[in-house]
Amino acid sequence: MGKGQELYQKAKTLIPGGTMLLSKRPEMFLPDLWPAYYSKSTGCQVWDLDGNMFYDTSLMGVGTNTLGYADKRVDTAVEGVVAAGNMTTLNCPEEVYLAEKLIEINPWADMVRFARSGGEANSIAIRIARAASGKDKVAICGYHGWHDWYLSVNLNEQGDDLSNHLLSGLSVAGVPQHLKNSVYPFMYNDFDELLNIVNKQDIGVIKMEVVRNFGPTNDFLQKVRDLATERNIVLIFDECTSGFRETYGGIFKKYGVEPDLTVFGKTIANGYALTAIVGKRAVMEAAQATFISSTFWTERIGPTAALAALKAIEEERSYEQITMIGKTIQEGWKKLADLHNLKITVSGIPALSTYSFDSPNALIYKTFITQEMLKKGFLASTNFYACIRHSQEIIDQYFNELDTVYERIAAVESDTDPIENLLEGEVCHAGFKRLN
């Protein structure tokens, strides 16, 4: 079982859900066999509690470490402020320097607020936007965290409206019933659906991911921008996931459409806790008309890490590197699938690549990939979040090992190998599921 799984069995008795993040539950990868915990990491290498080293060719910190784990430039800056003192009664100057840098990167914007996690940053953005618009109702497209305002979508008439945006079956236990019909989801690239919502409801805020799996068609983003401007609606682009992966800043730069507010997270501090809400003065100053305040938003490590990470991202042009790596990965998956006559669907921006098997056995195959690649020294699934430390040598080794795994899957698909022979444990979870 390994020390990691032994510790995880204990964790499930002490921590509801076993982990703080659904995406890191071992059940999402390889129930009962995933190593679960790490002892150290560097570049794209991770060591488990038993001292085994793995190349991380899966989530790379759930998309946080595009510069790789333990980047010396970022860590050295953090070590300096830890030695000098992380928290005092006075404010850290780095938050001002970081605000200046983010406005330099986003010249359409004027002001910045900081937080430490993506979910709370999105909630702050919603609070500010509602205060600025004077309206409660929000139209959303994409994933925006775990807070009440977002989960309240599932209080609406259909009862599982987030199934197309996040996961199916998310319970609204604990979410106040009076939030029902305050947030309305619309599908990406479906402008008519959004227009219908805006025409029927008194929408004050449109909040959306700029792109996740596929890009805009039929001038979709510009139509949304024009609609928000015409109806005096605050437009928020959630770039927690997509920011600094294809451009030096928001991916909206790629499409020439600017929001009123944007939210950055994940990549901005290369694994340290820092998120930012960046916006136009007319909207951002509404933050002073409400109460948004938290002690640990004033600690020094987050802004210091972000300043160092943004400097490294700019110098390395890491967003170009991880995009090229991601394209290599996507093409490699397609070639391997064609070689073995397997049908897969590849999606995501290149730096956040993912794929699925076009087969009723897709979840079993996903589990099998994780099981076999783990034996070969890789943390792997049906996704690949790129960092600049994913060398061509590592990528070549990854595909050499994946080739033999695909060969076994192809044998199952052609009925020459019983599917019962594949797995050594349970099938991985597809989404949210109670653990005990």
Average pLDDT of the segment spanning 51-63: 98
Q: For 362-377, what is each residue's pLDDT tens digit?
A: 999 999 999 999 999 9
Q: What are phi and psi of 241, to 5 degrees?
A: -90, -45
Q: Which of 408, 374, 371, 60 is nearest to 241 (CA)?
A: 60
C-alpha distances in angstroms, 16 versus 22, 150, 160, 199? 11, 21, 23, 42
Domain coordinates of the chain in residue numbers?
2-63+317-421, 72-316
pLDDT for 432 beyond 70: no
Q: For 291-306, what is each residue's pLDDT tens digit?
A: 999 999 999 999 999 9
Q: For 155-195, what is each residue's pLDDT tens digit?
A: 987 778 888 777 787 889 999 999 999 999 999 999 999 99
Ordered DSSP codes for 133-150: HT--EEEEES---SSHHH
Distance (Å, rounded) from C-alpha 109 to C-alpha 176? 34
pLDDT for position 436: 52
Q: List all residues 6 or more positions away from 131 whose beta carbon is below 8 Å from its beta carbon.
A: 286, 287, 289, 290
Task: List the CATH code of the domain at 72-316.
Answer: 3.40.640.10
How does DSSP classify residue 259? -
pLDDT for position 434: 57
pLDDT for position 199: 98
| 183-196: b (≥16 Cβ within 10 Å) or e | bbbbebeebebbee
CA 177 to chain centre: 28
Place of tokens 């990965």: 329
Are 155 and 162 contacting, i.e. CB atoms less than 8 angstroms apart? no
Assigned fold of 2-63+317-421: Aspartate Aminotransferase, domain 1 (3.90.1150)
Q: For 366-425, what is each residue's pLDDT tens digit?
A: 999 999 999 999 999 999 999 999 999 999 999 999 999 999 999 999 999 999 999 999
Chain mean pLDDT for the chain: 96
